[in-house]
Structure 1
Amino acid sequence: MLSKLIAALHDAHLDMTAEEIADTLWLALQMGSLQGEVDIQQAADATDPNTYENVAADQQFLSVLPAPSMMETTASIYLHAQNRSDNTISYVASAPFRSPAASALPNTLALARALRPLMRRIPSKTAVVLNEHATAQRIAETRMRLWAPVFDPAPVRWFDIELVVDIGTSMLLWKKTIAELQALLEHLGAFRNVRIWRLATNNKDRVDIYAGIGTTQEQAQVRNPKELVNPGGYRLILVTSDCVSPAWHSGKIQELLDMWGQKNLVTLIHMLPRRLWPQTVLENADIVQIYASQPEASNKSLKIKKTLTWVGEGSPIKQFLPLPTLTLEASSFSSWAQILTGTQKTWVTGVIFEQSPIDVSLEEDIASDQQGNDALSPKKRVQLFRTSASALARKLAGLLAAAPIPMNLPIIRQVQSTMLQEANQVHVAEVFLGGLLEEIYRDETHQDPDQVQYDFITGVRDELINTVPIPDAYQVLREISQFVQNRYGQPRDFLAFIAASQQGRDPGSAITQGSRPFAYLELNTLRRFGGPFVEFIDELERHIQRINEQHNELHSKVDPDQTVLESPKDYSTALISPTSPNPSFMNETWCNFHWTPWLPLNSSEISTDPGIYRVRAVSGNEIFYIGSTGRNLRERIGDLYRNVMNDPIQMPFSDPHTAAPTLWAWRDATGIDFECSILLLPSQENLELLVHYFLWQYRLEKGDAALANYGRSHPYYIKSGNRSTGRRGYRLPEGSPNPAGGPDLEPLQLHGTPLDRNWMGLEWSEQYPLTGGNFKNIASSPAAYKVIDTTDTDTEELLFVGSTPNLRKRLQDLKQKNWDYPHPMVAFALQSSDLLHYQLAEMESDLLGGYYEQMKKGPKAQFKLSQLDIITSTLSETDVTENL
């Protein structure tokens, strides 16, 4: 066998000494048998040029060589191998690499701006400063007989901060986020002092508190919780937690917070968004609106403006003090800062716990849930995740499915930062809590969550990949590579591994077989980084030269009449190119209706009957617009075509077709053309209602709204008004924000029944008489509302459902309408004051879509009263759905 190997090396013009051959054999034994590796006996047998096996062996050897063109320009970056095993692959040129990391708290600038009111200075009770002007004035007034200095209280920072960090098991995910929050509070310059405390919450019978974050829990000394209290005030106690640990469920933490709140203001910073609070201990608390009658208030002096949930209302059970509860969003922090300083009359969301332990068998519930989750199929896991997750979390999960495996938190944040900048750490948490990922490696010697490696549970990646548009899947690798190149050398980084080639002599540097690079770097760029990378590139270039020589030598031995050798494949590149099937909203059977094939907007095949139509870019995978007309589809769509196509210079007005300005802007920006698919229905069907239903279904599946419905425009364009205004739209200067732009509202999920207090996932009020009600004390804030038919208590039918920017005015208007149904009742769900007009339109459309899904008809008076101008905007006589 050895003689055959030497002969093969000689025929390949590889003049190796005996020592070099011995080293090669030793290295081969150390590396083990690798997938795709050529067996030595097979290589030796392949030296006979007269056999067909010779050609096959040559092809097999070529197939495992990296493409020279790829190796000449780039190197791959992987997660560093955590352990050695038989399934590792050695790399010829390798080096440790500190990859830049994205922020775990991406909205720090917005949070800092929200906390600006706390940067005020107050007069010190002890320190003084010389008032030079007053001193000179006094000396002058006494004709220089009294040289006494005048002192004023020195201005000092108002508050100090006690940052209490829940270190329960589930909080490991938030370690970096809290560290960046701590840095923000320390560097803001608003607080006298920021101290850190750790709160051990894994024991349901007791809560221990430790100072600082430097020592392990076993080495640290338990401190007295009263150390945090300042009887003189001027102290803020911030507790960061996800509220799921055993001590929360037993009520031990609530007792501690109540003790602190007697003298100081205790605030809970909940790591999860409000819509996920029911999955935590807050499910058993009253959600309230809290305000302060004076600055510097403690929890004991806080007032309750309104109760948003009715758990335990009127109950004699004693309750803890109100607890302001924030999320990691700028709007939440802004209201809180204004309450503390009294700069503006406002309120903040809070919770009130009952003074009794919550009766749950926590361990049994967790074990039961885990057992049930383990039995779920991949498809069911994804369905459950998409049902409860936000639109941004669903999109992030899809993008991660296109990312490398394995992955860790820094890589996930890189994907979020580069591909989904509107998302934040909350959406990352939704993905982790969604039952999609599993740990594949954890270093038990460290507690750094960034070193834990994850992968999707078997089968989940394949299910998710179908939700990612193909350009996004390709773009993940490209965008992360650009991120690494642009930010290399910044302080925030993590350990990775840069390598090249799949054949080599460095068995000490290995990655797990099957891993894919999460980024590529140009070798010219890498050389500019200097340091160890210069030697890395030199070694790589020497290897490239050897590879090219072997590649050319083997090609010269192949008989072109026998076979054609393919170019060496770049397997790592092929792995990041998933395919995406046509989404269901593009199919001809979408929502179990019969749609026509896609047609040009000016096609003569478009029906002249009434119906519904959807518009997309030619061969695209996003819906731009869904509309309907009760007259002539060909004429209506023809109006749209002519207004979009006729004038390439000026944006058309919004009449006769309100979608024309937006489609014109998209065409102007990208050069795309449009096509449509139509749906013909029996005359008794309510076209407008079905448009709402289709828009809602599209939002549920896609995660985003149709691009030209709800009055939306292209993000870089201002939309035209109608002809009576004479206002033409235009493209914004580069870099200018669009005042009419912003994110879509998260689609409402189907939940409960129309009369339930949690219908469609909203928090509805109790029912009030509509025609005889007094609404003067109702808030003038945005809200959703529903008018209820009380004539038949056996049904759950609504008369009307909608949204409004001003609830008080809307209810007063509805009160004056001529309802054909006696004693209608109304309920409402208050919304954030910063909702935009199109987000309210999206909410109303979702409610109507969900109602149709459940009842297979619309609210009884909805479209009859639309003609009385109950709907916010004036509806066109030609096509009422054009304003959606």
Structure 2
Amino acid sequence: MLGRLREILARSGVDLADEELLDVLWLARNLPGDVDPLARRPAPAAPSRQAAEQGEPRAPGADDPAQPGAQPPPAVAPHRLFPLHAAPRGKGSGGPEPAPHRAHALRTPGLHVLPSRHLTLGKALRPLRQRLPDRLRQELDVARTVDAMAETGLPETVTSPARSRWLSLVLLIDDGVSMVLWKRLASEIRTLMERAGAFRDVRVFGLDTRGPHAPLLSNRPYRRQGPHLPPAALCDPTGGTLVLVVSDGVGDAWWDGRMSEAAALWARRQPTAILQALPARLWANSGIATRPWHVTSVRRGGPTTAWHVTDPRLPADLVGFDSVPVPVLEPTPAAVGDWARLVASPSATAVLPLWDIGRSATRSRRAGTGQGQDAEAVLRFRGAASPEAYRLAAHLAAVAPVTPPVMRMVQEALGPPTDTGHLVEVFLGGLMHNAAADTAGRLPQPEFFDFSDDARRILLGTLPARELLRTTRLIAERLAACVRHSPSFTAWVAHPGGAAAVDAPERSFAQLEERLLKRLGVATCLDAPPVDRPPPAAGAGAGSGPDAGGR
């Protein structure tokens, strides 16, 4: 067979030795089939028929490959690709990088958490868009004023209570470390509530569920600055303030009963609910254990303790609800719509998952899988996590350090059946650690996370190179489709004249073409010459040079 193949290649003008032929066969088997060559030689232009008939002389070497001194036509230059990194290098990561590993910061389009459900979630809140008479505000009643003036002939005005929105909203966002993954979800929920047209006002607080004095409220989520408030500060005796908590139920206060006491305090005075960030299949592993109950409202608004709660299957004399009803919702139109009808209607019924406070208080928090050596941690993670989560962990390790927006992009690029639940398994599985670098003086950047070298090596041993190339290509396509239509985050594009240091191009999560960078508004910086930097001082340790930490 090899002899026959050598004869075919020889007739085509390709004469290969035995070793060269074996190399060609090995490359044909192992190279990805969907990768284009770096350069293509254009086909020689055929002489026109008129020129051939007139016998016009041809240029030397134009069509005759055997012409002595003939120069082959120039190869077509490939598209310029620029590696895109999620994070710069921090202190202690190897010192100053050479010029090819410099990078510019730019704003990169991200992904919406609720892209297709945003409009339907807004429609699900329509039952809350009610206007009721406000006893504290009066407005001119035009019809009654005209009737009074016609009857009495006197310029008298008649007023009536003004109709205004009947509810205010307090949005509590759990801002612990695990909730970094859901920062975009919390932002979109806030925007949705502000644009719903159902509330008089929307106040947003950060919720600390991990400190020794938790739960405490702060003025700004994810920024532990300023004064802190106790949970009792949100109590509204009139029942006109709705409390909605956005959390994943991972903080310590969800496990030891402190958050259940705060939720019961609110639920006894006003409508209260929890919007669970985790997928429903992971609720059992959080501090918010739930059970479905049949709920009937008895009045519009008011505390949730006024609800009539029964078992959806068994009679009330066999199973009774002896806790404070706090509904736990998925961010889906069906769940939000059922809850909104219960709050806004005096006699609505629905089957909702309620927080089983007694069950959560009796359970103990599961230990993390990141204890011990890195190899043991990876083995424990592989035994506890799903196959999709382990595959996702390998993809994240290939491009780490990563930020939460990049994690979501990698997860979306893998496609079904990989979902956000598998991303949560990786993030909370104990393999990732906070690797935030010193980014002072740059654009605002969220925390980014990395794997240890041993864990990275083990995870990458299970990932084919072809799959990595496919993932980076899909991410680049999604970035191109999301330009100017999605929220943005900070990333670093490789360029010799950049002010930051990044890892090798192999650790990038996408390769961007120059035309895409022009759409992002950074084309001018790519033509800038490299910045001359003095060499590091002799004997300087890692991270002690002038460019340490990407400065």
Q: Normalization by structure 1: what TM-score?
A: 0.45
SS in 1 for 2:112: coil
Q: Are residues 1:179 and 2:174 paired? A: no
Q: Are residues 1:536 and 2:526 paired? A: yes
Aligned equivalents of 2:481, 2:114: Cα separation in 1: 20
Aligned equivalents of 1:299, 1:94: Cα separation in 2: 54
Alignment of 1:425-464 (within 5 A): 425-426=420-421, 428-434=423-429, 437-439=431-433, 441-443=435-437, 450-455=446-451, 457-458=455-456, 461-462=459-460
SS in 2 for 1:91: helix
Q: Are residues 1:126 and 2:126 paired? A: no
Q: Please, which moves more after superposition, 226-235 or 423-432?
A: 423-432
Aligned equivalents of 1:68, 1:496: Cα separation in 2: 30
Q: Are residues 1:188 and 2:183 paired? A: no
CA deviation string 1:181-228 (max 9, x = no partner): 222212322211111223322246x434234117953x4323243221
Alignment of 1:321-470 (within 5 A): 321-342=324-345, 344-354=348-358, 358=362, 360=364, 366=367, 370-371=370-371, 376=376, 378=378, 381-382=381-382, 384-386=384-386, 394=389, 397=392, 400=395, 404-417=399-412, 420=415, 425-426=420-421, 428-434=423-429, 437-439=431-433, 441-443=435-437, 450-455=446-451, 457-458=455-456, 461-462=459-460, 465=463
Q: Which runs of 5+ in 1 are unaligned?
A: 1-66, 388-392, 541-884
Q: Are residues 1:263 and 2:269 paired? A: yes
Alignment of 1:289-308 (within 5 A): 289-306=294-311
The total of aligned residue pairs comes to 445
The equivalent of 1:136 in structure 2 is 146
Alignment of 1:617-632 (within 5 A): none
CA deviation string 1:270-307 (max 9, x = no partner): 22223222212344x65534331222131220121316
- Do the aligned partners of 1:129 and 1:154 also contact (CA within 8 Å) in 2? yes
1:496 alignment partner, one of 491, 494, 497: 491
SS in 2 for 1:154: strand
SS in 2 for 1:354: helix
Aligned equivalents of 2:222, 2:390: Cα separation in 1: 38
- Do the aligned partners of 1:131 and 1:151 also contact (CA within 8 Å) in 2? yes
Alignment of 1:772-783 (within 5 A): none
CA deviation string 1:466-517 (max 9, x = no partner): 7x9x6x75443233223333444567322222225xxx6x585431136433
Aligned equivalents of 2:221, 2:425: Cα separation in 1: 29
| CA drift at 1:155 | 2.3
Aligned equivalents of 2:367, 2:314: Cα separation in 1: 26
The equivalent of 1:522 in structure 2 is 513
- Do the aligned partners of 2:291 and 2:356 also contact (CA within 8 Å) in 1? yes
Note closer, same or farther for the CA distance 1:525–1:512 as it changes in structure 2 (3 Å cut): closer
- Do the aligned partners of 1:286 and 1:309 also contact (CA within 8 Å) in 2? no
Aligned equivalents of 1:407, 1:93: Cα separation in 2: 17
CA deviation string 1:620-640 (max 9, x = no partner): xxxxxxxxxxxxxxxxxxxxx
SS in 1 for 2:261: helix
For 1:332, give the aligned amino acid: A
Note closer, same or farther for the CA distance 1:243–1:497 as it changes in structure 2 (3 Å cut): closer
Q: Which runs of 5+ in 2 are unaligned?
A: 1-74, 531-551
1:164 alignment partner, one of 172, 180, 186: 172
For 1:322, give the aligned amino acid: P
CA deviation string 1:599-643 (max 9, x = no partner): xxxxxxxxxxxxxxxxxxxxxxxxxxxxxxxxxxxxxxxxxxxxx
Note closer, same or farther for the CA distance 1:398–1:229 as it changes in structure 2 (3 Å cut): closer
| CA drift at 1:396 | 8.1
Note closer, same or farther for the CA distance 1:296–1:250 as it changes in structure 2 (3 Å cut): same
Aligned equivalents of 1:134, 1:494: Cα separation in 2: 56
Note closer, same or farther for the CA distance 1:94–1:402 as it changes in structure 2 (3 Å cut): closer
- Do the aligned partners of 2:209 and 2:251 also contact (CA within 8 Å) in 1? yes
Q: Normalization by structure 2: what TM-score?
A: 0.68
1:477 alignment partner, one of 472, 478, 484: 472
Aligned equivalents of 2:159, 2:434: Cα separation in 1: 65
Note closer, same or farther for the CA distance 1:222–1:150 as it changes in structure 2 (3 Å cut): same
| CA drift at 1:528 | 5.6
Aligned equivalents of 1:268, 1:428: Cα separation in 2: 21
Aligned equivalents of 2:208, 2:284: Cα separation in 1: 23
- Do the aligned partners of 1:399 and 1:415 also contact (CA within 8 Å) in 2? no
| CA drift at 1:338 | 1.2
Note closer, same or farther for the CA distance 1:382–1:191 as it changes in structure 2 (3 Å cut): same
SS in 1 for 2:111: coil
SS in 1 for 2:278: coil
| CA drift at 1:336 | 0.7
SS in 2 for 1:133: helix
1:153 alignment partner, one of 137, 161, 164: 161
Aligned equivalents of 1:454, 1:421: Cα separation in 2: 24
Note closer, same or farther for the CA distance 1:333–1:516 as it changes in structure 2 (3 Å cut): same
Aligned equivalents of 2:268, 2:101: Cα separation in 1: 65
Aligned equivalents of 1:514, 1:75: Cα separation in 2: 9
| CA drift at 1:176 | 3.2
Note closer, same or farther for the CA distance 1:401–1:461 as it changes in structure 2 (3 Å cut): farther
- Do the aligned partners of 1:244 and 1:280 also contact (CA within 8 Å) in 2? yes
- Do the aligned partners of 2:434 and 2:447 also contact (CA within 8 Å) in 1? no
The equivalent of 2:110 in structure 1 is 101
Alignment of 1:37-76 (within 5 A): 69-70=77-78, 72-76=79-83
SS in 2 for 1:458: helix
SS in 1 for 2:299: coil
Note closer, same or farther for the CA distance 1:416–1:118 as it changes in structure 2 (3 Å cut): farther
- Do the aligned partners of 1:271 and 1:328 also contact (CA within 8 Å) in 2? yes
Alignment of 1:672-683 (within 5 A): none
Alignment of 1:780-799 (within 5 A): none
Aligned equivalents of 1:474, 1:520: Cα separation in 2: 10
For 1:102, give the aligned amino acid: L
Note closer, same or farther for the CA distance 1:68–1:174 as it changes in structure 2 (3 Å cut): same
CA deviation string 1:568-603 (max 9, x = no partner): xxxxxxxxxxxxxxxxxxxxxxxxxxxxxxxxxxxx
Note closer, same or farther for the CA distance 1:329–1:421 as it changes in structure 2 (3 Å cut): farther
For 2:271, give the aligned amino acid: L
CA deviation string 1:401-448 (max 9, x = no partner): 69734432111222445664997655532442355x4236224889x8
Identity of aligned residues (%): 23
SS in 1 for 2:104: strand
Q: Are residues 1:78 and 2:79 paired? A: no
For 2:362, give the aligned amino acid: I
| CA drift at 1:520 | 3.0
For 1:495, give the aligned amino acid: T
| CA drift at 1:337 | 0.8
Q: Considering Cα pairs closer than 8 Å and 6+ residues apart, tell me whether 1 or 2 has the greater RCO.
A: 2
Aligned equivalents of 2:479, 2:278: Cα separation in 1: 29
Aligned equivalents of 1:405, 1:224: Cα separation in 2: 38
Aligned equivalents of 1:396, 1:189: Cα separation in 2: 43
For 1:121, give the aligned amino acid: R
SS in 2 for 1:366: coil
